[in-house]
Amino acid sequence: MRVAHSLLLTSTGRLLSFGTAQYGQLGHGYSAGKQLPDELRPRYVEALSRFRVTCISAGELHSAAVTDDGDLYTWGDGFCGQLGLGGKRPQLLPQQVTKSGLEDECVSVVSCGARHTLCVTEDGEAFSFGLGQYGALGRSFTPFEYDTDDPMMPNVDGEADNPPAVAAAAPPVAVAEAAPATNGLDVNIFTQLDLLANVTLNDSSDQCIPMSIDSLSGIHIVGASAGHRHSMLLDKYGNLYSFGNGAAGELGHGTREKQSYPMRIMEFGKILLMAFLRLLKKTLNRIFS
């Protein structure tokens, strides 16, 4: 499985992409030959050429961009709902995220993880969507029921091909070599199964619509970073919050436990307190010396 693409942002707000295009993550759509060719050199994403882009993020198989108007666009693989467009079908061209009232919000920051996405508004509200199984969304979720009639892969005529039926409880297996081509493409959505570890096709933790991380209500968030199976958020006072999978200690709480909701990393508070006490001691020494 090839998982390698990059995004570049120019000083004038133009977006370029290059690398693997197998799931539409480059945002160029089909080529004249009805293919999704890899790009070996940076190429402008023409679908966003009329906008000034201010923030970009490349996930594992999907991409996102924010314009200077505060609009959020996503494209690429949507197998776990990480595009926030209300479904799981891939998108070969950038699509504006308008679900859950996000079209009325002014987005300032976006970060794509492996199979989930975080975004932050100018008002300091954090939203998450995508795979929620490991707690990387930082909130409770409404179980998603997979619709086998939902079209997954659009064809060149703008229609959609329904995937063959897959047993709901079937364990994920690598089938990339055996998967037949679709519409002449070297792509099939079921090749993604080897990437999904313990995730099944109808995983109820998938969240296809952006939702606010309500446990942070009243806290002004200014930054976000989505990892492989965990997430981090930064508030305007410099406090850092982490949540999701913690098996390797990646949450910074001194344990290997999973956190389903944002938890402040207290170690930074201790460091700031010690620095303040040292500064206070030096100040007092100068005053009374």
- Sequence-separated (6 or more) residues with CB below 8 Å from residue 56: 7, 8, 9, 15, 63, 64, 65, 66, 110
d(CA 149, CA 208): 16
Tens digit of each residue's pLDDT (9 = 90 or more) over 13-53: 999 999 999 999 999 999 988 899 999 999 999 999 999 99
Q: Which of 74-83, 181-190, 253-262, 277-286 is predicted with the least confidence, judged by mean pLDDT?
A: 181-190
Instruction: State what percent of residues in the chain have pLDDT above 70.
Output: 74
Whole-number pLDDT of residue 228: 94
C-alpha–C-alpha distance, residues 161 and 207, integer Å: 23
What is the structure's pLDDT at 194?
Answer: 41
CATH of the domain at 179: 2.130.10.30
- Cα dist. 15→45, 62, 103, 183 in Å? 6, 15, 21, 28
Write down the pTM of the prediction.
0.75
Render pLDDT for 201-230 as a digit per residue (tens, 0 to 9): 455 667 999 999 999 999 999 999 999 999
Q: Given pLDDT bands bounded at 50, 70 and 90, which one contains residue 144?
A: low
Say what the pLDDT of residue 287 is. 82
The pLDDT assigned to 244 comes to 97
Number of domains in the chain: 1
Using an 8 Å Cβ cutoff, are 81 and 143 in contact?
Answer: no
Residue 153 has pLDDT above 70, yes or no: no
Give 229-232 contacts, CB < 8 A, sequence gap 24+: 229/113, 229/114, 229/134, 229/136, 230/134, 230/135, 230/136, 231/113, 231/116, 231/118, 231/128, 231/136, 231/137, 231/138
Per-residue pLDDT at 267 exceeds 80: no
pLDDT at position 33, please?
82
The mean per-residue pLDDT over the stretch 159-169 comes to: 33
Residue 166 or residue 128, greater confidence? 128
Q: Would the pLDDT of 160 be above 50? A: no
Model confidence band, residue 80 (pLDDT cutoffs 50, 70, 90): very high
pLDDT of residue 200: 45
Given a contact cutoff of 8 angstroms between Cβ atoms, the answer to whether 111 and 57 are in contact is yes
Q: What is the pLDDT of residues 193-208, one digit of tens each?
A: 444 444 444 556 679 9
Is residue 134 within 8 Å of residue 219, measured between CB atoms? no
Confidence check: pLDDT of 241 > 60: yes
Per-residue HEC secondary structure of the chain comes to CCCCEEEEECCCCCEEEEECCCCCCCCCCCCCCCCCCCEEEEEECHHHCCCCEEEEEECCCEEEEEECCCCEEEEECCCCCCCCCCCCCCEEEEEECCHHHHHHCCEEEEEECCCEEEEEECCCCEEEEECCCCCCCCCCCCCCCCCCCCCCEECCCCCEECCCCCCCCCCCCCCCCCCCCECCECCCHHHHHHHCCCCCCCCCCCEEEEEECHHHCCCCEEEEEECCCEEEEEECCCCEEEEECCCCCCCCCCCCCCEEEEEECHHHHHHHHHHHHHHHHHHHHHHHC
Parent domain of 254: 5-288
Q: Judge whether 253 and 204 are in contact, CB under 8 Å.
A: no
Q: What is the pLDDT of residues 58-72, one digit of tens each?
A: 999 999 999 999 999
Can you tell me the mean pLDDT for 156-167?
34
